[in-house]
Amino acid sequence: DNGFHLWDSHAIMIYFMEKYGKDSSLYPKDIESRALVNQRLFFDGSDLFARHIGVVGPLLFRDATELTEKDIKLVAEHYDIVEHFLEGTKFIAGNEVTIADISIWCTITNISTYSPVDLEKFPNIKAWYKRMEALPYAHFNTLGGKLFAEVMAKYIKK
């Protein structure tokens, strides 16, 4: 952005929302609502996405050759937390879609390539995922998920 360099998708989303999304429900102005969005973003960055990268990183960037059942279970444990976030709300941090939804949705889409969400066990995630897929920009996440699935296909035991 005009020579300003920033990394980490969570920081980038916050930066762009603060700079360009002044009146957007994607990153609410209300301090408590924003704190909840930030909490969910930080959960994604420090827990969900971090665990995901801990599992796939050795496959993609080192010499690991396959996913283990232990790896898959470690990531799947986080579905309980996401299910809890969605109790009594339509979205991750309330009843409006926020950047926390977009972030966690992208992470779960990628994780689902090797550790699918049991949608019967997690009805809140199931309903939320349907709402996310109905968004006008959902095709970007779908495309990214398909590309990641192609990369991961060679590491997944049949």
Each residue's pLDDT tens digit, 116-126: 888 899 999 99
Assess if residue 58 is contained within a domain: yes
Using alpha carbons, select from 84, 145, 141, 81 the residue that is nearest to residue 114: 145
Assess if residue 54 is contained within a domain: yes
Residue entry with tokens 């296909």? 153
Number of domains in the chain: 1
Kindly report the pTM of this predicted structure: 0.89
> Are 101 and 10 in contact, with CB atoms under 8 Å apart?
no
- CATH number assigned to the domain comprising residue 141: 1.20.1050.10
Domain extent for 31: 9-155
Each residue's pLDDT tens digit, 90-146: 999 999 999 999 999 999 999 988 888 888 999 999 999 999 999 999 888 888 888
Each residue's pLDDT tens digit, 23-74: 789 999 999 999 999 999 999 999 999 999 888 888 888 877 777 888 888 8
Assess if residue 2 is contained within a domain: no
DSSP for 69-126, please give it: HHHHHHHHTTHHHHHHHTTTSSBTTBSS--HHHHHHHHHHHHHTTTS---TTT-HHHH
